[in-house]
Structure 1
Amino acid sequence: MEIKEFIKHGLVRLPPGFRFHPTDEELVVQYLKRKALSCPLPAAIIPEIDLQKYNPWDLPGGSGEDRYFFYLRERNFEKKKKMTTNSGYWKPSGKTQPVLGSRNNELVGAKQVLVFYKGKPPHGSRTLWVLHEYSLSDHGLINSSTQSLVASRKDWVVCRIFAKRRSTKLRRRFARFQESYEYQATCSSSSPSCITDLSDEESINGEEATSSDYIV
């Protein structure tokens, strides 16, 4: 079976039953390092893309799946700290984490978590879209065979993008809010007292919810 059968919109479509789920080390060493040094990749499964031209929900890939992309980062990215799209921006969340090799526990790269915000900075609204950006570390790369390649390598990063699921607690609160809303709408015309009774019961339970809790 030819690999071309699984290629669509620049993505390799794996056969049924196969999942691409690499570790942080595998992403950095087996894919990103090879990409940056122009070496052959283990598989042509991660496409190149300009992330600033796409909102996360418009990116190619299956619904509910982690999506992986190579992105050529701007040289002045460290000064900007934000990556913008036409509907919002990616904002770093938390500190950069080291990616360590499994053999000698050596530093091979770094991992930065970013969250997508709708709107213009700094007043955008946080969404559930998350990006893990992996970058290379020069430590351990420079040797007699790769020194010249490292000096000329481009600033490639590899990204894993996914939509974070709402917590179980939040889903339950939303379900209770929805049931409460439907109950009020049903009985408001026939029994004015039922809304008051429901509000009193929610106040006793200490779990009164509002629609603003569920805005993404």
Structure 2
Amino acid sequence: MNNSDSLDRLLEAAGNVSQEELARKLDESPQTITNWKKRGVSKAGAIKASALFGVSTNWILNGVDRPDQINASKVEEWDSSTNVDDDEVEVPFYKDFLVSCGSGTLPQILGNQSRKLRLSKATLRSYGVSAENAYALTAHGDSMKSVINNGATVFVDLGRTNIIDGKIYAISHGGLFKFKYLYRMPKGGVRIVSENKEEYPEEVLTAEDIIDQEFCVVAYAFNVQNPLP
């Protein structure tokens, strides 16, 4: 399979647009798209496109679909007069709580829920998420750009807080809530890593720092809906 095949599939998912138009849709530089043509679409780029265009990352990257593929869910806001389909659940949506700049405790967040989104049961099953643990939060800032852009809706699993290296979690750190990559360190420490490493250098906390700086894992981020540029 040629490296350019994954870009061809991505262009198809975007509506057979030009490379320049694809760069605009994904908020990427034209040079990034050129690099993808030479080396193949990056995993981060495929995840972003999956959320934006409603196709699986595995199809973009490899041209095949598997049961463990990462799918983008099609989410619609609804009100009390809207019927919920049999294969959908109501997910609490904290639109006005901005993860990365908010403060407060988790019970305070959960007590301020005012909206809901619809999410398919199939999507939850594909990620192994129980409906009662699924929540939607609003991302703020650019520390995780381009995986999670400013204003993105991020679906999280409150029942999954054990760290798996390289996965994205909602964390509370010194009273601030953020989305970050996490990695386990020896003796109970943790590495906190941003996608935008140049502006947001990684942090390493020892077990003592975790206590002193009031760090905890709030939830596992399993799906993102990035806004159009």
Report the TM-score when normalising by structure 1: 0.25
